[in-house]
Amino acid sequence: MVATGSLQRSFAESPNSFQYGVASRNGQLAPNANASWYVARAMAIRLEVIDEVEALHTIADSWQEMANEAGISPLFRGPRWLLSWWRAYQRQLGAELFSLVVYDDERLVGLAPFYKRHAKRSPTRKLEEIRLIGDAGPRPPVLGILAAPGYEDKVGVAIADHLVAQTDWDVIDLEPLEDPSEARAHLVGRLARKGRPVDSRSAGGVTRIELQATGSEEEATPKDARASAYVDEPAKLRKGLATLRRLSRLEWAHRDEASPFTDRQATHLLEDIVLPLGKEGRARLARLDDVDGQAIAAALVIDDGGRAIVLALAVDPETEEAAPRLLAAEAYAARERGLRSLDISDSAIEHGLPQMPTTRTRAVQLSVYGTSSAASLARTYGKVRRKMHVAKDAPVAAAAGARAAWSKIRTAAANVAGLERLQLYRGELWTRGVAHTPGLTMQVLSEVDYDAMERSDKELFLEGLHLDDSQIRETWQRGDIAVLARLSGRPAGIAWCACKRVLVPELDRHLSVGPGEAYIHDLFVAPTARGRSLAPSMLEFLATDLRQRDIYKSWALIGSNNIASVRAFEKAAYTAVAEVVHAHIGGVDRLVVRPPDVEAKKLLGL
């Protein structure tokens, strides 16, 4: 907790005035932005800055009580979710804690769970940002500033005046905020009067299915017998999360975007929250299966403040109709649990909704700009960016249409002109004695081994290594070899190589893999296992296996900017022999090898 000198109360002559200060050595009140006292009609309001997470833990109980009093998303705006989020994302974001807490005497009456970070908007332009804890990765319906009932004006004013007194920030960027909010209104009004430019705009929201016990909606959307849910057992909840990540990865890849639910930080956050909430009966992983028992839709639903929140929904891109069926099943289940509504985020409703009565609840994004030149540039940039991304604020159907149109534009542009630069590496397959990570085991994985896996193990294998069942079966049928790496028994990496003619999609041509040669076309290490030299270990293991098959030379094509793969192959004694440039201009393909290595040209069929 920040403290400079000893705090001293300052009572102004006017009962409605306030002052900032700390006691100096001579007893006089000295200005200080780290603590403030607000006096109004015999009420002393004190603001403190918390920059250490341990201090937030000490006020967790009072914080949760205030979130419960607010009534809207008490779990997601309370310490349980936000402190778990901080543990998961703080290091990745380079975030510094900057939470503002407001007291009336010793009672907690306000909290702004802020953090600061250095944002790089361009190679030459950096910004000092203030943001809300919880605003990255899986985002709840709303976040925001908490104020105890009756203190909304005092909390908003105290926080605003403290921010104005600070000079080390350029932009305050807060979303998603509840709307309306009395505390936010006082904060914005005070900042505007102090000369800080403020922009406010829509930031999505939720679609709410009101769970009235009429029964009429069941006639329009009957319960689906193929819907089920994992509720309380940790192993089953982990299995449900794995299914959600697998489907989410498929869905977002179909959009040419990265899923917010599949990286390491999101995985840690959701497991940290979902497993204990599942034991309390407040979290469930719902799924909808096809006729073969394979999951085609999955949803994470968390009960919060009398409402069921669909925090994440993922659907197989080929079965979009599964989403309304699963949401309907979850609406019925939420009503059976005695909840008032099922709230669905905007990312989920793009798939379609069941035929049930719905309402919209709006969220807001707030941007406040400081007095620096960087802040002025950021405001101009923000106006341009909002015009460019207007589809994000459009109705869901329009946003989906905009994404589809952009995908077509990208495809058309790729057909007109494209350039791919790859490095061709060659290895002589002599083992080099690479030191293996403790707990690492490796094996040649055959299709028979794969079919012998338990269903749950198979799902974890496919999800953890970003694999598709039909794709890997085709690879095995072609005769390719797979090496599976496990860390402490869990799938951690996989390498694939071909020993005969094989297609390289990046070049849109087949490679002529000769006798005694192999081509490594895929080398993948799970995000949670990276940085432990798994890739060189798999290459070493593969070299030993290939030599036993009388194969003594191997090839690999690596993207010029794929530094991690370049390091892995070079550590395994592979050598770069040529740069391969694939140019696609106006429907005409051209392949150039520099320098014109004879073996490389033969491999490429030139």
As a dihedral over the C-alpha atoms of residue 178, residue 106, residue 168, residue 119, rounded to 10 degrees, the angle is -40
pLDDT at position 508, please?
A: 77
Write down the residue that tokens 């079919």 correspond to: 451
Q: Which of 370-379, 385-394, 396-405 has the highest mean pLDDT?
A: 370-379
Query: Given a cut of 80, is residue 386 above it in pLDDT?
Result: no
More confident residue, 274 or 430: 274
Using pLDDT thresholds of 50, 70 and 90, give the confidence band for residue 327. very high
Q: Is the pLDDT of residue 32 over 70?
A: no
The average confidence (pLDDT) of the chain is 79
Pairing state of beta strands 283-289 and 227-230? antiparallel
| Per-residue confidence (pLDDT) for residue 400, from 0 to 100 | 47
- The reported pLDDT for the residue numbered 382 is 56
pLDDT band at 391 (very low <50, low <70, confident <90, very high): very low
User: Residue 389 pLDDT more than 90?
Assistant: no
- The total of other beta-carbon atoms located within 10 Å of residue 474's CB is 11
User: Which residues 6+ apart lie within 8 Å of 496 measured at CB?
Assistant: 475, 480, 481, 482, 520, 521, 522, 523
Residue 389, helix vs strand vs coil: coil
| Number of C-beta neighbours around residue 210 at 10 A | 15
> So what's the pLDDT on residue 151?
94
Residues of the chain with pLDDT > 70, as a percent, come to: 79
Task: Name the DSSP class of 320.
Answer: T
Q: Residue 392 — pLDDT band, cuts 50, 70, 90?
A: very low
Q: Which of 118-122, 350-354, 490-494 is predicted most confidently? A: 490-494
pLDDT value for 530:
79
Question: Is 376's pLDDT higher than 70?
Answer: yes
Which domains does the chain possess? 18-198 (3.40.630), 213-356 (3.40.630.30), 418-604 (3.40.630.30)
Indicate if the alpha-carbon torsion angle 396, 398, 403, 404 is positive or negative: positive
- Whether 596 and 582 have beta carbons less than 8 Å apart is answered as no
CB atoms within 10 A of CB 200: 15
The answer to whether 273 and 267 have CB atoms below 8 angstroms apart is no
- How do residues 285-310 score in pLDDT, each as one tens digit? 999 998 888 889 999 999 998 899 99
pLDDT in tens, 219-267: 556 678 899 999 989 999 999 998 998 888 877 766 656 678 878 888 8
Best-predicted range by mean pLDDT (76-85, 365-374, 471-480): 76-85
According to the model, what pLDDT value does residue 306 have?
87
Residue 274 has pLDDT above 60, yes or no: yes
- Strongest mean pLDDT among 328-332, 356-360, 415-419: 328-332
CA–CA separation, 66 vs 49, rounded Å?
Answer: 18
Model pLDDT, residue 459: 83
> At residue 156, does pLDDT exceed 90?
yes
For residues 472 and 435, is the Cβ–Cβ distance under 8 A?
no
Q: How far apart are CA 518 and CA 237, in angstroms?
A: 41
Angle between helices 79-93 and 60-70 (to 10 degrees): 110
Average pLDDT over residues 98-109: 94
Q: Residue 112 pLDDT more than 50?
A: yes
Q: What are the tens digits of pLDDT across the range 468-511?
A: 787 788 788 777 888 999 988 888 899 989 888 888 877 778 88
- pLDDT for the residue 321: 85
pTM of full prediction above 0.85? no
Q: Which helix (H) or strand (E) holds 553?
A: strand 553-559
Q: Give DSSP secondary structure letters for 390-453.
A: GGGGS-HHHHHHHHHHHHHHHHHHHHHEEEEEEEEEEE------PPPPTTEEEEEPPHHHHHTS
Query: Which amino acid type is present at position 303?
Result: D
Question: With bands split at pLDDT 50, 70 and 90, how would you rate the model's confidence at 431?
Answer: low
Give Cα 366 to chain centroid, integer Å: 21
